[in-house]
Amino acid sequence: AQEDDYGEESYYSIVRYDDKAKANVEEILQHHWAANKTGLLQTRSEMRKFFNPYKMITMTSDDDTRGQLKRFYSAKAKAMTLIPPGLRKLLPTKQLFSNQYFKTCSVVGNSGILINSSCGAEIDAADFAFRCNFATVKGYEKDVGTKTDVITFNPSILDRFYGRLKKDTDKKSFEERLVSYGKYVLWIPIFSTHYVSRTVHEILEYFNLNFKRFTNVQLAFPGNILPDISDYWLTQGIDEERISTGLLMFNIAATICEEIHMYGFYPFPQFQETSIPYHYDDSRRNKTRNNYDYGYRRFHQLPDEFVLLKKLHKAGIVKLHLGKCP
């Protein structure tokens, strides 16, 4: 069994495009959307009661006291670790995006609903764009665009897709991907679980040796943020062992954006009459798990998150884009 950021052989449940899902989709499609700026500001100040959103974007060098203990947060295990050596040098000295606001933001999830959506131009027209998990852009530009200001990188990606950079070919493709997004922030959650701590050390070592070569990349490392964020989401009726990366990006967007557009958030195997794969880049599907046709991780409750996004959409706090862009 392969371990990943989730720290165990992940469980998948089959998700169906059932009547409830269909009804929610219809509700979204039929709603006449209008932006609700006050609602977004309220969400922002509610969130701030639970956590400092800027610490969620990144720790700064002030936060790294050598020898300090940090608690990892993961679905099954709670463990302590020392702050890894080599982190401090990579941390920004100042908070990122503090007092910076962007008029419109695109938050791009990785759902297969983006295939043939032609949403690329619309996504790129925003002032700021978030992407998840080092997502593929090349070859999908028409549907997903290219603009990238923040992209997340779960440590396990280094194991799953880049053989921990052991081979030169893996290193080359990792570095090609690193430079492919332009100038951006690479957001690396290193405290999610201790299962990937070896990989985390390798990532830190790699960037300590190489970061000068990648002047286009600003590294960001959120602290141990998940417990407080989960507490916030609990007040919104979301009870998950682990909030999805995409929803975490919404939290950041709510902090720095004035209007939020979400694309590629769709956890169902079908949209209207079309069947869709889990990821728009289906090569990213975990090939070691072949006994599911369409699954999500048990402790992510993406269908619950979808209902939440529906509510936020109807309240004008985000615009959730489904189907084709005009």
Residues near ligand CDP (CB under 6 A) are 109-111, 132-133, 244-247, 264-267, 278-279, 300, 302
Nearest residue relative to ligand CDP (C-beta):
246
Q: Are strands 12-14 and 69-73 parallel, antiparallel or unpaired?
A: unpaired
Smallest gap from residue 274 Cβ to ligand CDP (A) = 14
301/323 Cα distance (integer angstroms): 22
Q: In DSSP terms, which residues pair with 318 in a beta bridge?
A: 260
Identity of the residue, 187 or 265, whose beta carbon is nearer to ligand CDP in the bound complex: 265
Identity of the residue, 41 or 234, whose beta carbon is nearer to ligand CDP in the bound complex: 234
The SS3 assignment for 11 reads coil
Identity of the residue, 60 or 193, whose beta carbon is nearer to ligand CDP in the bound complex: 193
| Contact status, residue 57 vs residue 187, Cβ threshold 8 Å | yes
166/158 Cα distance (integer angstroms): 10
Smallest gap from residue 80 Cβ to ligand CDP (A) = 24
Question: Does residue 103 come out as left (phi exceeding 0), alpha (psi in the -120 to 50 range) or beta?
Answer: alpha
Residues labelled as active-site residues: 300
| Contact status, residue 187 vs residue 220, Cβ threshold 8 Å | yes
Identity of the residue, 15 or 83, whose beta carbon is nearer to ligand CDP in the bound complex: 15
Smallest gap from residue 167 Cβ to ligand CDP (A) = 24
Smallest gap from residue 258 Cβ to ligand CDP (A) = 22
Smallest gap from residue 147 Cβ to ligand CDP (A) = 17
Smallest gap from residue 203 Cβ to ligand CDP (A) = 16
CA dihedral 95, 320, 278, 19 (to 10 degrees): 140
159/87 Cα distance (integer angstroms): 20
Tokens representing 169? Answer: 């070919």
245-256 vs 37-48: helix axis angle to the nearest 10?
110
| Contact status, residue 180 vs residue 138, Cβ threshold 8 Å | yes
Identity of the residue, 83 or 130, whose beta carbon is nearer to ligand CDP in the bound complex: 130
Identity of the residue, 83 or 157, whose beta carbon is nearer to ligand CDP in the bound complex: 157
Q: Are strands 78-82 and 12-14 parallel, antiparallel or unpaired?
A: unpaired
